[in-house]
Structure 1
Amino acid sequence: MLSWFAQTWEDAKMFMYSILLTFYEMFRDLLYWLMESFLDLTIVILNGLGSLFDGLDVSSYINSIPPSAAYFASASGLGQATGMIISALTIRFLLQLIPFVRLGS
């Protein structure tokens, strides 16, 4: 009689453990589904944002600068200064991605 009770107890423990694992798998699948839905929605939004910039043509704005302003900008080195500033900002943002390198910035 005692062996029957022990076997029934072990079967009940295994059944409860399998129920617990089932709920864990269901919760994990729900989180995966929510994350996938969020990422699919993000892709749809980003694909829609691409059409907003179709009418933006930067070269037309650069070509419409008056010749005197273009001469002054090139004589004062505005192109080189802009390039240095953009490269410095790029290096700074890339260094922010490395842990323990955020030295006060």
Structure 2
Amino acid sequence: MQFFEWLQRAFQAIIAFLTSCVNTVADMLKDLFFWVIDMAMSFCASLLSAMDFAGTGLLDVAQVYAGIPQEMRDFLHVIGFSNCVMVVVSAVLIKILLQLIPFVRLGAK
């Protein structure tokens, strides 16, 4: 009887060891995936920081607004374009924030 108990304990120890090995390999693969993603994001961040956007006017809203003719600015003000943009941007931000809540998808598939 003792032999079978010893064999059962040895078998359980081997199963526990193999389970631990499988979990370790799974963690290593998960860490490798996140490491690759982190390196890709770091590379993209370094590329973006190396680019010079100062002369392009892409990020300068005042310069873009100054480029619109005065008549067009007056027309946009009369029809309430700024209010419209504010409502649309607010709606998009609210939808994005609601998407962060688990189990709330609001029609997104």
Q: For this structure pair, what is the TM-score category when the shorter chain's length is used for normalisation?
A: 0.5 to 0.7
TM-superposed CA distance for 1:63, in Å, is: 0.6
Which residue number corresponds to residue 72 of structure 1? 75
Is 1:37 the counterpart of 2:36? The answer is yes
Equivalents in 2 of 1:82, 1:75: separation in Å? 14
SS at match of 1:65: coil
Structure with a larger share of its residues in helix? 1
Unaligned runs of 5+ in 1: none
Equivalents in 1 of 2:3, 2:37: separation in Å? 51
Equivalents in 2 of 1:59, 1:69: separation in Å? 15
Identity rate, percent: 18
Which residue number corresponds to residue 15 of structure 1? 14
Is 1:88 the counterpart of 2:78? The answer is no
Q: Deviations over 1:51-76 (max 9, x none)?
A: 55723233211111111111222222
SS at match of 1:21: helix
TM-superposed CA distance for 1:40, in Å, is: 2.7
Letter in 1 for 2:87: M
TM-score for the superposition, normalised by structure 2: 0.65
Question: Quick one: structure 1 residues 9 and 29, their matched pair in 2 at CA, closer, same or farther if it must change by over 3 Å?
Answer: same
Q: CA RMSD in A?
A: 3.0
SS at match of 1:33: helix
In terms of Rg, which structure is larger? 1
Number of residue-to-residue matches in the alignment = 103
Equivalents in 2 of 1:96, 1:20: separation in Å? 36
